[in-house]
């Protein structure tokens, strides 16, 4: 069921300001070359497992960790991917774990499928696999057939595991409401039940050039059952809605005033902990 008061991406506002979201960047390496990638210009580093475990243990013992996201680069390329996801699950049995992946390594994802409560955040920026490959500048991401097979496979695992498909809104690709509908129909056909449409963040010139806004309010109410709009439209324009049983969100760039973003996530990368990507270093 859709919760009308909670943005799918941002979560519940945190009155105490103490809840922690942790993002673990295992590697900057990626087998794709998206022009809008925010990681392209950063060197890779050697993930220090022992140091991570020390910092994780301190965080876990002092704060309620409400979400842990594994990201990259492409996190499944890291040799410790399976071990680290399992370690976090063992130590935080009820926290939501998110895997941000380009979907190039479904076998690796299957290795963690016996765990519970995993959100498989698969980036897929077009329903046409050739155009998708063109956007990723690589044929590494899986085919539509492989994706459909993985979706069916995941349905045989614990019901708390699910795929959340991420589609960037890109000029000339999924950039208007008709394309959004085609994307959602394709998602429905392969059994996807959650989709997010995300505006490009202006990290690169290409991202600035290709950024496009889609007006989801064009959708007729009887076709798309709109269920929530931000209460403070001056700071947040995110929209959650339901499309024929698929939970959908459209996330626009939030400002720091957005009531649904309690804190920037803590980020573990380069063997140190910082507040947000590139933010103040808390521990090194």
User: Would you tell me which residues interact with ligand SF4 (CB under 6 A)?
Assistant: 30, 32-34, 37, 39, 72-74, 102, 123, 136
CA atoms within 13 A on the CB side of 146: 15
| Residue among 137 and 244 whose Cβ is closer to ligand SF4 | 137
| Residue among 37 and 170 whose Cβ is closer to ligand SF4 | 37
| Residue among 102 and 250 whose Cβ is closer to ligand SF4 | 102
- Based on its alpha-carbon atoms, the radius of gyration of the chain, rounded to whole angstroms, reads 18
User: Nearest distance from residue 184's CB to ligand SF4, in Å?
Assistant: 22
Determine the Cα–Cα distance for residues 272 and 114; give it in Å rounded to an integer: 30
CA atoms within 13 A on the CB side of 104: 21
| Residue among 4 and 41 whose Cβ is closer to ligand SF4 | 41
Q: Which residues on neighbouring strands pair with residue 266, listed in sequence order?
A: 22, 275
- Reading the block at residue 191, the tokens are 């059994």
- Cβ neighbors of 75 (< 8 A, separation 6 or more) are 24, 25, 26, 27, 81, 99, 100, 101
User: Nearest distance from residue 84's CB to ligand SF4, in Å?
Assistant: 17
User: Nearest distance from residue 95's CB to ligand SF4, in Å?
Assistant: 23
Q: Which residues on neighbouring strands pair with residue 97, listed in sequence order?
A: 68, 118
| Residue among 45 and 229 whose Cβ is closer to ligand SF4 | 45
CA atoms within 13 A on the CB side of 40: 14
Length of the chain: 284
User: Nearest distance from residue 138's CB to ligand SF4, in Å?
Assistant: 8
User: Nearest distance from residue 257's CB to ligand SF4, in Å?
Assistant: 27
Determine the Cα–Cα distance for residues 270 and 284; give it in Å rounded to an integer: 9
User: Nearest distance from residue 102's CB to ligand SF4, in Å?
Assistant: 4
| Residue among 207 and 230 whose Cβ is closer to ligand SF4 | 207
- Reading the block at residue 170, the tokens are 């890109």
- Reading the block at residue 41, the tokens are 């210009």
- Reading the block at residue 216, the tokens are 């989801």
User: Nearest distance from residue 72's CB to ligand SF4, in Å?
Assistant: 5
User: Nearest distance from residue 94's CB to ligand SF4, in Å?
Assistant: 28
| Residue among 58 and 201 whose Cβ is closer to ligand SF4 | 201
| Residue among 34 and 106 whose Cβ is closer to ligand SF4 | 34
């Amino acid at each position: 069921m859709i919760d009308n008061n909670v943005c799918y991406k941002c979560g519940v506002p945190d009155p105490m300001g103490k809840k922690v979201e942790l993002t673990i960047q295992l590697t900057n390496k990626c087998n794709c070359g998206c022009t809008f990638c925010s990681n392209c210009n950063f060197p890779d580093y050697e993930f220090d497992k022992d140091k991570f475990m020390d910092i994780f243990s301190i965080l876990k013992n002092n704060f309620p960790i409400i979400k842990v996201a594994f990201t990259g680069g492409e996190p499944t390329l890291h040799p410790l991917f399976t071990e680290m996801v399992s370690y976090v699950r063992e130590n935080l049995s009820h926290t939501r774990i998110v895997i941000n992946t380009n979907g190039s390594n479904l076998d690796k994802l299957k290795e963690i499928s016996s765990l519970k409560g995993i959100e498989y955040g698969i980036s897929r920026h077009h329903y046409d696999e050739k155009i998708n490959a063109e956007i990723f500048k690589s044929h590494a991401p899986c085919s539509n057939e492989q994706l459909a097979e993985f979706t069916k496979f995941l349905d045989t695992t614990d019901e708390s595991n699910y795929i959340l498909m991420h589609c960037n809104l890109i000029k000339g690709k999924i950039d208007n409401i008709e394309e959004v509908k085609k994307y959602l129909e394709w998602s429905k056909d392969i059994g996807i039940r959650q989709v997010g449409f995300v505006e490009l963040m202006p990290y690169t010139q290409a991202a600035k050039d290709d950024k496009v806004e889609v007006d989801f309010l064009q959708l007729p109410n009887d076709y798309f059952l709109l269920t929530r709009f931000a209460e403070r439209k001056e700071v947040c324009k995110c929209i959650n809605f339901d499309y024929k049983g698929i939970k959908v969100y459209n996330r626009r760039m939030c400002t720091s005033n957005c009531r649904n973003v309690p804190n920037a996530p803590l980020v573990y990368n380069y063997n140190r902990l910082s507040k947000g990507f590139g933010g103040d270093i808390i521990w090194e």
